[in-house]
Structure 1
Amino acid sequence: MTVISILTADDLERRLDAFAALMLACVEDGASVGFVLPFTLAESAAFWTNRVLPGVRSGKVLLLAAERAGKLAGTVQLDCDTMPNQPHRAEVRKLLVHPDFRRQGVARALMAELERQAALRHRRLLTLDTRTGDSAEPLYGSIGYRVAGIIPDFCRDTIQDRLDPTTIMYKAL
């Protein structure tokens, strides 16, 4: 059974090692989440500390965690730090599922709760980007996200020295 919870800044600080290990496992498995190999546990921890923790602490970023069998199986963020003319929307960031827990409904459970939380915060439009062709792209499509467009040469591949396109997607809640 997957248990989804909202984490506070204190929770993230206490579980920093687990979040760093989760991201490292995903990047090593080829996930395009902003990092390239070689990638270290220290770099992963620095991301959570420097880039995610301040947003969680300020309340502008909602951090969700998925637990299975007492282990951190996945996470996703809802970034509500929008400009004054965009109080109705938010961005989905860093949907990560540990390779050991993939294809078990973890991503779907995280996204369902993220969407529920977005609606509670009066966010009616969600946006995201995903590397074109990744396994996440059909997942997002299957839960109602629509393609707005594709940007070529958007990011460097995690493993190979090449540039990959990204697919921009959205969902109206």
Structure 2
Amino acid sequence: MRLSKEFIVAIVLTGAALMATAAHAHDYKAGALVIAHPWTPKPPAGAKVAAGFLKITNEGKEDDRLVAISAEVAGKIQIHGMKIENGIMKMFELAGGLAIPAGQTVELKSKSNHVMFMGLKTLPAEGQSFTAVLTFEKAGEVPVEFAVEPMGGDDHGEM
């Protein structure tokens, strides 16, 4: 059986559309905010902390602020900043939360601002996800799923 070029092109385009849909299925919208791909690197065995990363785009005309995060997976969760002092990386809680300026994208990523899940109650396994609730000053509470992914690749560097 020989397949026509049109049939093959249709199959390729359908596959590409499905992959694009899956890639965007991990985005969330709350008011003017778009929250893209919350994820955490798989923590090593025995870890008591895990980092969380995501992008938040404010498509609105007013600033907003990420003020809190909650999740059953951890006893305490903080929004962390990071700076280098005398060649040493220091992390600290961002008092008052993280500003999400109007018309801008804020990325929480490795070696920068990030989420810190502390006092892990369960160790998230690669390929699974867990629910967290992001609380914004204006957009309110937004439930999201943090995907547990392998370390490395796709700018998923170690902290």
TM-score normalized by the length of structure 1? 0.30
Higher relative contact order (CA 8 A, sep 6+): 2
More helix by share: 1
More strand by share: 2
